[in-house]
Amino acid sequence: MNTESYSLESLTNVKYQRLNACAELQRRTKRRLVFARSEALELLAVEKPIEPESERRRKDMDVVVGSPGEKGRLRGIRFLTWHGPIEVIDVNRAIECTTPVCTWAHYSGLITLRELIVLGDSMMRRNRRLARAEFSDFVRYLDGDGQFLGKLNCKRALKLMREGTDSSQETRTRLTLMQYGLPEPAVNYPITLHNGRVVLADMAYPELRIAIEYDGGYHRFDSNQVLRDDKRREALEELGWLYIKVTRIDMGNEQVEETLAQRVATQCERVLGVSVPLTARMSVQQICDGRRIRRKPLWDRVPRHLWKAPWAQETAS
């Protein structure tokens, strides 16, 4: 299963292909069609979450209605009843779809909690050309009076959704580390190099000077990018940072994901000078628990004089 992220160019290409298909359907009927779910994500140029296999195979397009009585019969369309607030956005003058936040909520009864968080993150990208919503938009929608299947999962997801991410795989990596009991890493953390240049680590434990970078597939086919990544790593290591590279082979099943979490825990041990044991893999629902989120992080539980990193005592004095 391909879980690599899509570029703005590829998402835009998909958008216009879907726009043409939706326009063709709209021309066949006089009723107003509001496209939803997968079609809405494509029209909005939003990276999709991992959907159930049955959804990925279907051919009909999804259109949302507010009650069963509004459903109709139109070849190529699957009418979906949505009991939550239906918020609509114009894609162009002829085509409408659900807004990003409404689409996210509409997915809550279809995909896993993990992928609901992934989808929320994908709507709040650091790249403003890919950003479709702000965190406050999700809060506003859920604070409304509407009740719908999946609203509880939406509230859970909101606790771990973060603005300013760059890819869905970064979000999955972040959640995986937390599932094994590691603290939540900061997202796109700025680090100032010796030459004054600021770089962003995909994920980081800044207190421990540990940077975690997800290396997407495109890196392997660009020799200049590989050289830039190597120089970036060298510059971080000169500052005492430990660098962990994650690729798609580190994600995808529990065995490899636990191995990744252990790699990160081992680097934490190098800094702290104490054992950092993993927990048994938790569900995403468990890590959404507010008590776990508020738990004191590793670096606050180990006295600074025990830390083994060379820079630790220098910064403490």
User: In this predicted model, what pLDDT tens digit does every residue of 209-258 receive, in sequence order?
Assistant: 999 999 986 545 566 777 788 888 999 999 999 999 999 999 999 999 99
pLDDT tens track for 126-171: 999 999 999 999 999 999 888 899 999 999 999 999 999 999 999 9
Domain 168-316: which topology?
Endonuclease; Chain A (3.40.960)
List, by residue range, all CATH 3.40.960 domains of the chain: 168-316
Distance CA(16)–CA(217), nearest Å, equals 24
Q: Which of 69, 152, 77, 74 is nearest to 108 (CA)?
A: 152
Residue 253, both tokens: 């099943």
Report the pLDDT value the prediction gives residue 230, as an integer from 0 to 100: 85
pTM attached to this predicted model: 0.93
Q: Hey, which bits of the chain come out as E strands?
A: 34-35, 61-65, 77-81, 88-90, 96-98, 186-192, 198-205, 210-214, 242-246
Report the pLDDT value the prediction gives residue 144, as an integer from 0 to 100: 86
CA distances (Å), origin 82, targets 27, 65, 97, 98, 126 = 24, 6, 13, 11, 30
- Read off φ and ψ for residue 244, nearest 5 degrees: -120, 120
- Read off φ and ψ for residue 78, nearest 5 degrees: -110, 115
User: Which residues lie closer than 8 Å to 53 by C-beta, 6 or more apart?
Assistant: none
CA distances (Å), origin 100, targets 32, 45, 135, 273 = 19, 10, 12, 45
Q: What is the mean pLDDT of the chain?
A: 92
